Chain A
Amino acid sequence: MVKEKKIKVLLAQFSLETHSRGIITVASILRDSGMEVIYIGNSTPEQIIAASIQEDVDVVGISTLCGGELVLGRDLLQVAKENGVKDKLVFLMGGIFPPEDIPKLKEMGFKGIFSPGASQEEISSFIKDAVV
Protein backbone atom coordinates (compact mmCIF):
# COMPACT_ATOMS: atom_id res chain seq x y z
CA MET A 1 0.00 0.00 0.00
CA VAL A 2 1.67 3.18 -1.16
CA LYS A 3 1.64 5.94 1.40
CA GLU A 4 2.15 9.47 0.24
CA LYS A 5 2.56 11.97 2.98
CA LYS A 6 3.23 15.60 2.17
CA ILE A 7 4.34 18.32 4.53
CA LYS A 8 1.64 20.99 4.69
CA VAL A 9 2.53 24.57 5.49
CA LEU A 10 0.16 27.45 6.07
CA LEU A 11 1.64 30.85 5.33
CA ALA A 12 0.06 34.08 6.52
CA GLN A 13 0.73 37.66 7.51
CA PHE A 14 -0.91 39.62 10.27
CA SER A 15 -3.61 42.07 9.32
CA LEU A 16 -1.71 45.31 8.73
CA GLU A 17 1.29 43.91 6.87
CA THR A 18 1.70 45.27 3.34
CA HIS A 19 4.89 43.75 2.00
CA SER A 20 4.23 40.27 0.71
CA ARG A 21 7.25 39.71 -1.53
CA GLY A 22 9.02 37.76 1.21
CA ILE A 23 6.20 35.40 2.01
CA ILE A 24 5.41 34.78 -1.65
CA THR A 25 9.06 33.92 -2.23
CA VAL A 26 9.03 31.49 0.68
CA ALA A 27 5.81 29.95 -0.68
CA SER A 28 7.57 29.23 -3.98
CA ILE A 29 10.62 27.84 -2.22
CA LEU A 30 8.58 25.43 -0.15
CA ARG A 31 6.47 24.37 -3.14
CA ASP A 32 9.66 23.64 -5.04
CA SER A 33 10.89 21.49 -2.20
CA GLY A 34 7.82 19.27 -2.41
CA MET A 35 5.53 20.76 0.21
CA GLU A 36 1.89 21.76 -0.05
CA VAL A 37 1.64 25.44 0.77
CA ILE A 38 -1.62 27.06 1.73
CA TYR A 39 -1.24 30.79 1.40
CA ILE A 40 -3.92 32.87 3.09
CA GLY A 41 -2.40 36.35 3.05
CA ASN A 42 -3.38 38.95 5.64
CA SER A 43 -5.24 37.27 8.47
CA THR A 44 -6.18 37.56 12.12
CA PRO A 45 -4.93 34.96 14.62
CA GLU A 46 -8.44 33.42 14.66
CA GLN A 47 -8.46 33.11 10.88
CA ILE A 48 -5.00 31.56 10.87
CA ILE A 49 -5.87 28.90 13.44
CA ALA A 50 -9.27 28.15 11.88
CA ALA A 51 -7.58 27.58 8.52
CA SER A 52 -4.79 25.52 10.11
CA ILE A 53 -7.38 23.18 11.58
CA GLN A 54 -9.43 22.73 8.42
CA GLU A 55 -6.34 22.25 6.29
CA ASP A 56 -4.72 19.94 8.87
CA VAL A 57 -1.35 21.59 8.39
CA ASP A 58 1.92 20.65 10.05
CA VAL A 59 3.51 24.10 10.03
CA VAL A 60 2.30 27.67 10.43
CA GLY A 61 4.65 30.33 9.03
CA ILE A 62 4.18 34.03 9.67
CA SER A 63 5.95 36.83 7.81
CA THR A 64 6.13 40.17 9.55
CA LEU A 65 7.87 43.51 9.53
CA CYS A 66 5.28 45.81 11.05
CA GLY A 67 6.45 45.56 14.61
CA GLY A 68 3.53 43.65 16.09
CA GLU A 69 5.16 40.26 16.20
CA LEU A 70 5.36 39.94 19.98
CA VAL A 71 1.77 40.93 20.65
CA LEU A 72 0.16 39.21 17.70
CA GLY A 73 2.51 36.25 18.01
CA ARG A 74 1.31 35.77 21.56
CA ASP A 75 -2.31 36.13 20.45
CA LEU A 76 -1.78 33.54 17.76
CA LEU A 77 -0.33 31.00 20.15
CA GLN A 78 -3.09 31.73 22.64
CA VAL A 79 -5.79 31.04 20.05
CA ALA A 80 -3.92 27.87 19.09
CA LYS A 81 -3.92 26.74 22.71
CA GLU A 82 -7.64 27.51 23.13
CA ASN A 83 -8.34 25.33 20.11
CA GLY A 84 -6.20 22.49 21.36
CA VAL A 85 -3.68 22.67 18.54
CA LYS A 86 -0.73 24.58 19.98
CA ASP A 87 1.31 21.43 20.51
CA LYS A 88 0.28 19.89 17.21
CA LEU A 89 1.70 22.66 15.03
CA VAL A 90 5.21 23.93 14.34
CA PHE A 91 5.19 27.75 14.45
CA LEU A 92 7.69 29.78 12.43
CA MET A 93 8.27 33.50 12.26
CA GLY A 94 10.16 35.23 9.51
CA GLY A 95 10.84 38.81 8.48
CA ILE A 96 12.29 41.88 10.09
CA PHE A 97 12.17 42.46 13.85
CA PRO A 98 14.55 43.50 16.60
CA PRO A 99 17.12 40.78 17.39
CA GLU A 100 16.28 41.05 21.08
CA ASP A 101 12.77 39.83 20.29
CA ILE A 102 14.07 36.51 18.98
CA PRO A 103 14.56 34.75 22.32
CA LYS A 104 11.14 36.06 23.44
CA LEU A 105 9.51 34.60 20.34
CA LYS A 106 11.22 31.28 20.91
CA GLU A 107 10.10 31.19 24.48
CA MET A 108 6.52 31.88 23.40
CA GLY A 109 6.56 28.86 21.17
CA PHE A 110 7.95 29.89 17.78
CA LYS A 111 10.26 27.03 16.99
CA GLY A 112 11.99 28.63 14.03
CA ILE A 113 12.92 32.25 13.48
CA PHE A 114 14.18 33.46 10.12
CA SER A 115 15.72 36.85 9.58
CA PRO A 116 16.98 38.42 6.35
CA GLY A 117 19.75 36.27 4.94
CA ALA A 118 18.09 32.96 5.73
CA SER A 119 18.66 30.67 2.78
CA GLN A 120 16.21 28.50 0.87
CA GLU A 121 18.02 25.42 2.09
CA GLU A 122 17.92 26.60 5.70
CA ILE A 123 14.17 27.19 5.68
CA SER A 124 13.12 24.02 3.90
CA SER A 125 15.45 21.71 5.79
CA PHE A 126 14.40 23.21 9.13
CA ILE A 127 10.82 22.39 8.30
CA LYS A 128 11.63 18.88 7.13
CA ASP A 129 13.51 18.19 10.35
CA ALA A 130 10.85 19.75 12.54
CA VAL A 131 8.02 17.71 11.07
CA VAL A 132 8.85 14.12 11.77
Chain B
Amino acid sequence: MNLLERLLQGDQRAAAQLITLAENNDQEVRKTIRELYKHGGKAHIVGITGSSGTGKSTLICKLAQAYRKLNRSVGIIAIDPTSPFSGGALLGDRVRMQELSGDKGVFVRSMGTRGALGGLAVATNEAINILDAFKKDVIMVETIGTGQDEIEIVKFAHTLIIVTMPGSGDEIQSIKAGIFEVGDIFVVNKADHHQAYHTLAELEAMLDLAPEQKGWEKCVIQTTAIANEGIDELLQKIEEHRQYLIKSGQMQKKRAQRSKAELIEIITQRVREIVNEATGETGEHRNLVEKMSERGEIDPHTAADIILKHLLNISNQ
Protein backbone atom coordinates (compact mmCIF):
# COMPACT_ATOMS: atom_id res chain seq x y z
CA MET B 1 0.00 0.00 0.00
CA ASN B 2 1.41 3.36 -0.88
CA LEU B 3 1.30 6.44 1.34
CA LEU B 4 -1.95 7.75 -0.08
CA GLU B 5 -3.73 4.44 0.35
CA ARG B 6 -2.49 4.17 3.91
CA LEU B 7 -3.63 7.72 4.63
CA LEU B 8 -7.11 7.02 3.38
CA GLN B 9 -7.20 3.92 5.58
CA GLY B 10 -6.56 6.13 8.60
CA ASP B 11 -2.85 5.44 9.14
CA GLN B 12 -1.37 8.24 11.28
CA ARG B 13 2.17 7.51 10.18
CA ALA B 14 1.20 7.98 6.55
CA ALA B 15 -0.30 11.38 7.36
CA ALA B 16 2.83 12.36 9.27
CA GLN B 17 5.16 11.19 6.50
CA LEU B 18 3.18 13.01 3.83
CA ILE B 19 3.37 16.25 5.78
CA THR B 20 7.14 15.80 6.07
CA LEU B 21 7.43 15.27 2.32
CA ALA B 22 5.42 18.43 1.76
CA GLU B 23 7.67 20.38 4.14
CA ASN B 24 10.77 19.06 2.42
CA ASN B 25 9.40 20.10 -0.96
CA ASP B 26 9.67 16.55 -2.17
CA GLN B 27 8.74 15.80 -5.76
CA GLU B 28 6.83 12.67 -4.76
CA VAL B 29 4.35 14.58 -2.67
CA ARG B 30 3.28 16.72 -5.61
CA LYS B 31 1.87 13.66 -7.36
CA THR B 32 0.16 12.52 -4.17
CA ILE B 33 -1.26 15.98 -3.42
CA ARG B 34 -2.98 15.93 -6.78
CA GLU B 35 -4.68 12.70 -5.82
CA LEU B 36 -5.43 13.91 -2.28
CA TYR B 37 -7.33 16.90 -3.50
CA LYS B 38 -10.45 15.00 -4.48
CA HIS B 39 -10.64 13.32 -1.07
CA GLY B 40 -10.81 16.54 0.89
CA GLY B 41 -12.88 19.70 0.87
CA LYS B 42 -15.05 18.87 3.86
CA ALA B 43 -13.09 20.06 6.89
CA HIS B 44 -13.88 23.29 8.70
CA ILE B 45 -10.64 25.27 8.78
CA VAL B 46 -10.30 27.44 11.87
CA GLY B 47 -7.39 29.83 12.14
CA ILE B 48 -6.20 30.95 15.55
CA THR B 49 -3.88 33.92 15.75
CA GLY B 50 -2.73 36.51 18.27
CA SER B 51 0.38 37.73 20.02
CA SER B 52 2.82 35.42 21.74
CA GLY B 53 1.77 34.35 25.20
CA THR B 54 -1.94 35.03 24.83
CA GLY B 55 -2.72 31.34 25.36
CA LYS B 56 -3.47 30.12 21.83
CA SER B 57 -2.07 26.63 22.34
CA THR B 58 -3.90 26.07 25.62
CA LEU B 59 -7.10 27.38 24.07
CA ILE B 60 -6.74 25.02 21.12
CA CYS B 61 -6.19 22.11 23.46
CA LYS B 62 -9.42 22.84 25.33
CA LEU B 63 -11.35 23.48 22.13
CA ALA B 64 -10.14 20.16 20.74
CA GLN B 65 -11.41 18.39 23.85
CA ALA B 66 -14.77 20.11 23.49
CA TYR B 67 -14.99 19.05 19.83
CA ARG B 68 -14.17 15.49 20.82
CA LYS B 69 -17.11 15.49 23.23
CA LEU B 70 -19.26 16.18 20.17
CA ASN B 71 -17.57 13.27 18.44
CA ARG B 72 -15.79 15.43 15.87
CA SER B 73 -12.26 14.54 14.82
CA VAL B 74 -9.63 17.24 15.03
CA GLY B 75 -6.44 18.11 13.23
CA ILE B 76 -4.12 20.74 14.71
CA ILE B 77 -1.25 22.47 12.96
CA ALA B 78 0.87 24.48 15.39
CA ILE B 79 3.40 26.81 13.82
CA ASP B 80 6.49 28.35 15.39
CA PRO B 81 9.19 30.53 13.83
CA THR B 82 12.27 29.09 12.15
CA SER B 83 15.46 30.96 12.92
CA PRO B 84 16.64 32.89 9.85
CA PHE B 85 20.21 32.42 11.09
CA SER B 86 20.49 28.78 12.01
CA GLY B 87 17.55 27.36 10.08
CA GLY B 88 16.51 25.58 13.26
CA ALA B 89 13.36 25.93 15.33
CA LEU B 90 12.03 25.22 18.80
CA LEU B 91 8.50 23.94 18.32
CA GLY B 92 6.94 24.40 21.70
CA ASP B 93 3.18 24.56 21.13
CA ARG B 94 2.58 20.87 21.44
CA VAL B 95 3.79 20.82 25.05
CA ARG B 96 0.61 22.72 25.99
CA MET B 97 -1.53 20.07 24.36
CA GLN B 98 -0.32 16.98 26.19
CA GLU B 99 -3.85 16.23 27.43
CA LEU B 100 -4.78 15.34 23.86
CA SER B 101 -2.23 12.59 23.69
CA GLY B 102 -3.72 9.11 23.46
CA ASP B 103 -6.86 10.28 21.68
CA LYS B 104 -6.65 8.82 18.18
CA GLY B 105 -9.28 11.30 17.05
CA VAL B 106 -6.81 14.19 17.39
CA PHE B 107 -3.76 14.65 15.18
CA VAL B 108 -1.29 17.33 16.27
CA ARG B 109 1.56 18.46 14.07
CA SER B 110 4.12 21.14 14.77
CA MET B 111 5.71 23.05 11.90
CA GLY B 112 8.52 25.57 11.63
CA THR B 113 7.91 28.49 9.30
CA ARG B 114 11.06 27.61 7.30
CA GLY B 115 11.40 31.06 5.81
CA ALA B 116 7.77 31.78 5.01
CA LEU B 117 6.52 35.20 6.04
CA GLY B 118 3.06 36.14 7.21
CA GLY B 119 2.73 33.85 10.20
CA LEU B 120 2.38 30.48 8.49
CA ALA B 121 4.78 27.71 7.53
CA VAL B 122 5.85 27.08 3.96
CA ALA B 123 3.82 23.88 3.70
CA THR B 124 0.87 24.84 5.93
CA ASN B 125 -1.63 24.66 3.12
CA GLU B 126 -0.49 21.24 1.98
CA ALA B 127 -0.64 20.01 5.56
CA ILE B 128 -4.24 21.25 5.71
CA ASN B 129 -5.02 19.33 2.52
CA ILE B 130 -3.45 16.20 3.95
CA LEU B 131 -5.42 16.41 7.21
CA ASP B 132 -8.56 17.18 5.21
CA ALA B 133 -8.10 14.00 3.16
CA PHE B 134 -7.34 12.26 6.47
CA LYS B 135 -11.00 13.00 7.24
CA LYS B 136 -10.53 15.47 10.08
CA ASP B 137 -13.79 17.34 10.71
CA VAL B 138 -12.08 20.42 12.11
CA ILE B 139 -8.59 21.60 11.32
CA MET B 140 -7.24 24.25 13.67
CA VAL B 141 -4.23 26.21 12.50
CA GLU B 142 -2.27 28.09 15.12
CA THR B 143 -0.09 30.79 13.58
CA ILE B 144 3.12 31.95 15.14
CA GLY B 145 2.78 34.63 17.78
CA THR B 146 1.76 37.52 15.58
CA GLY B 147 1.96 41.23 15.98
CA GLN B 148 -0.20 43.35 13.77
CA ASP B 149 0.65 42.34 10.28
CA GLU B 150 0.97 38.62 9.84
CA ILE B 151 -2.35 37.84 8.21
CA GLU B 152 -1.56 35.12 5.70
CA ILE B 153 -3.97 32.96 7.67
CA VAL B 154 -6.87 35.03 6.29
CA LYS B 155 -6.43 33.47 2.87
CA PHE B 156 -6.66 29.92 4.17
CA ALA B 157 -9.05 29.85 7.12
CA HIS B 158 -12.85 29.71 7.00
CA THR B 159 -13.21 31.08 10.52
CA LEU B 160 -10.57 33.31 12.06
CA ILE B 161 -10.19 33.71 15.79
CA ILE B 162 -8.07 36.51 17.23
CA VAL B 163 -6.81 35.83 20.73
CA THR B 164 -5.88 38.68 23.04
CA MET B 165 -5.23 39.00 26.72
CA PRO B 166 -5.61 41.78 29.28
CA GLY B 167 -2.78 44.16 29.99
CA SER B 168 -1.25 44.23 26.53
CA GLY B 169 -1.98 47.75 25.35
CA ASP B 170 -4.58 50.51 25.45
CA GLU B 171 -7.49 51.38 23.20
CA ILE B 172 -5.26 52.91 20.53
CA GLN B 173 -3.53 49.54 20.10
CA SER B 174 -6.84 47.90 19.53
CA ILE B 175 -7.88 50.10 16.62
CA LYS B 176 -4.69 49.74 14.62
CA ALA B 177 -5.06 48.06 11.26
CA GLY B 178 -4.13 44.50 10.58
CA ILE B 179 -5.38 41.42 12.29
CA PHE B 180 -8.17 43.21 14.10
CA GLU B 181 -9.81 43.98 10.78
CA VAL B 182 -10.03 40.42 9.68
CA GLY B 183 -11.09 38.39 12.70
CA ASP B 184 -14.49 36.74 12.88
CA ILE B 185 -14.40 35.99 16.59
CA PHE B 186 -12.32 37.78 19.19
CA VAL B 187 -11.26 36.11 22.40
CA VAL B 188 -10.06 37.75 25.58
CA ASN B 189 -8.20 34.91 27.22
CA LYS B 190 -6.86 34.94 30.78
CA ALA B 191 -10.15 36.55 31.70
CA ASP B 192 -9.37 36.05 35.39
CA HIS B 193 -6.92 38.94 35.10
CA HIS B 194 -8.03 42.04 37.02
CA GLN B 195 -7.96 44.15 33.85
CA ALA B 196 -9.97 41.72 31.77
CA TYR B 197 -13.13 43.79 31.91
CA HIS B 198 -11.25 46.79 30.53
CA THR B 199 -9.87 44.82 27.58
CA LEU B 200 -13.29 43.40 26.84
CA ALA B 201 -14.86 46.87 26.89
CA GLU B 202 -12.19 48.27 24.54
CA LEU B 203 -12.60 45.46 22.04
CA GLU B 204 -16.36 45.82 22.05
CA ALA B 205 -16.03 49.57 21.59
CA MET B 206 -13.67 49.01 18.67
CA LEU B 207 -16.11 46.63 17.04
CA ASP B 208 -18.87 49.21 17.48
CA LEU B 209 -16.78 51.75 15.61
CA ALA B 210 -16.10 49.42 12.70
CA PRO B 211 -18.15 49.88 9.52
CA GLU B 212 -21.44 48.06 9.64
CA GLN B 213 -21.10 44.47 8.60
CA LYS B 214 -23.81 42.58 6.86
CA GLY B 215 -24.38 39.03 7.86
CA TRP B 216 -21.90 37.94 10.51
CA GLU B 217 -21.74 40.02 13.65
CA LYS B 218 -18.21 40.02 15.02
CA CYS B 219 -18.18 39.23 18.71
CA VAL B 220 -15.94 39.01 21.76
CA ILE B 221 -15.81 35.96 24.00
CA GLN B 222 -14.08 35.78 27.35
CA THR B 223 -12.19 32.66 28.26
CA THR B 224 -9.86 31.37 30.91
CA ALA B 225 -8.53 28.52 28.86
CA ILE B 226 -6.38 27.01 31.53
CA ALA B 227 -9.46 26.61 33.74
CA ASN B 228 -11.61 25.44 30.84
CA GLU B 229 -13.93 28.46 31.18
CA GLY B 230 -15.70 30.03 28.22
CA ILE B 231 -14.70 27.16 25.93
CA ASP B 232 -18.19 25.84 25.26
CA GLU B 233 -19.38 29.36 24.48
CA LEU B 234 -16.50 29.82 22.07
CA LEU B 235 -17.16 26.52 20.34
CA GLN B 236 -20.79 27.46 19.94
CA LYS B 237 -19.79 30.74 18.28
CA ILE B 238 -17.43 28.91 15.92
CA GLU B 239 -20.24 26.55 14.99
CA GLU B 240 -22.59 29.49 14.46
CA HIS B 241 -20.04 31.04 12.14
CA ARG B 242 -19.71 27.85 10.18
CA GLN B 243 -23.49 27.62 9.81
CA TYR B 244 -23.59 31.26 8.73
CA LEU B 245 -20.91 30.64 6.09
CA ILE B 246 -22.81 27.71 4.64
CA LYS B 247 -26.24 29.37 4.67
CA SER B 248 -25.02 32.65 3.22
CA GLY B 249 -22.95 31.12 0.45
CA GLN B 250 -19.83 32.68 1.96
CA MET B 251 -18.31 29.23 2.42
CA GLN B 252 -18.11 28.80 -1.31
CA LYS B 253 -16.42 32.19 -1.59
CA LYS B 254 -13.93 31.24 1.11
CA ARG B 255 -13.12 27.96 -0.60
CA ALA B 256 -12.58 29.78 -3.88
CA GLN B 257 -10.41 32.34 -2.13
CA ARG B 258 -8.34 29.57 -0.64
CA SER B 259 -7.98 27.76 -3.94
CA LYS B 260 -6.78 30.93 -5.60
CA ALA B 261 -4.30 31.59 -2.80
CA GLU B 262 -3.05 28.02 -3.16
CA LEU B 263 -2.62 28.47 -6.88
CA ILE B 264 -0.63 31.66 -6.48
CA GLU B 265 1.49 30.08 -3.77
CA ILE B 266 2.37 27.09 -5.94
CA ILE B 267 3.15 29.21 -8.98
CA THR B 268 5.27 31.62 -6.93
CA GLN B 269 7.26 28.73 -5.54
CA ARG B 270 7.86 27.19 -8.94
CA VAL B 271 8.86 30.51 -10.50
CA ARG B 272 11.20 31.13 -7.60
CA GLU B 273 12.85 27.77 -8.15
CA ILE B 274 13.31 28.45 -11.84
CA VAL B 275 14.73 31.90 -11.22
CA ASN B 276 17.16 30.59 -8.62
CA GLU B 277 18.30 27.89 -11.00
CA ALA B 278 18.63 30.27 -13.95
CA THR B 279 20.66 32.81 -11.99
CA GLY B 280 22.67 30.21 -10.10
CA GLU B 281 26.24 29.11 -10.66
CA THR B 282 25.45 26.80 -13.55
CA GLY B 283 22.41 28.66 -14.82
CA GLU B 284 21.89 30.14 -18.23
CA HIS B 285 21.75 33.62 -16.75
CA ARG B 286 24.32 33.24 -14.02
CA ASN B 287 25.85 36.65 -14.63
CA LEU B 288 22.57 38.48 -14.56
CA VAL B 289 22.58 39.36 -10.89
CA GLU B 290 26.18 40.56 -11.10
CA LYS B 291 25.32 42.79 -14.04
CA MET B 292 22.41 44.21 -12.07
CA SER B 293 24.36 44.94 -8.97
CA GLU B 294 27.10 46.77 -10.82
CA ARG B 295 24.96 49.81 -11.46
CA GLY B 296 24.39 50.97 -14.97
CA GLU B 297 24.73 47.73 -16.82
CA ILE B 298 21.24 46.31 -16.37
CA ASP B 299 18.24 47.56 -14.37
CA PRO B 300 15.94 45.19 -12.40
CA HIS B 301 13.02 45.55 -14.82
CA THR B 302 15.10 44.67 -17.86
CA ALA B 303 16.55 41.75 -15.93
CA ALA B 304 12.99 40.65 -15.12
CA ASP B 305 12.10 40.77 -18.82
CA ILE B 306 15.05 38.51 -19.59
CA ILE B 307 13.96 36.00 -16.96
CA LEU B 308 10.37 36.04 -18.13
CA LYS B 309 11.50 35.28 -21.67
CA HIS B 310 13.56 32.45 -20.18
CA LEU B 311 10.45 31.11 -18.45
CA LEU B 312 8.51 31.21 -21.70
CA ASN B 313 11.29 29.35 -23.46
CA ILE B 314 11.31 26.63 -20.84
CA SER B 315 7.58 26.21 -20.99
CA ASN B 316 7.68 25.93 -24.72
CA GLN B 317 10.11 23.05 -24.59
Contacts and interface: CB of A to CB of B under 8 A. Distances in A.
Contacts of B12: 53-54
Interface string A24-66: 0001101111111111110100110011011110000000000
A56 B86 contact: no
A5 B273 contact: no
Nearest to B11: A53
Interface in B27-41: 27
Interface string A84-120: 1100000000000000000000000000000000000
B268 interface: no
B219 to A, nearest CB: 33
Interface in B1-32: 12-13, 15-17, 19-20, 23-27
Contacts of B267: none
A3 interface: yes
Contacts of A82: none
B88 A56 contact: no
Given A41-B95, A47-B98, A47-B101, A27 B90 contact: yes
A53 B12 CA distance: 7
B interface, size bucket: 20 to 34
Query: How many interface residues does chain A have, given as a range?
Result: 20 to 34
B112 A40 contact: no
Contacts of B114: 4, 6
A132 interface: no
B19 A1 contact: no
Contacts of A8: 20
A1 B273 contact: yes
Given A6-B112, A31-B86, 6 more contacts: A6-B88, A31-B89, A36-B82, A36-B88, A40-B98, A53-B16
Interface of B: 12-13, 15-17, 19-20, 23-27, 82-83, 86-92, 94-95, 98, 101-102, 107-110, 112, 114, 273, 276
Interface of A: 1-6, 8, 27-28, 30-41, 43, 46-47, 50-51, 53-56, 84-85
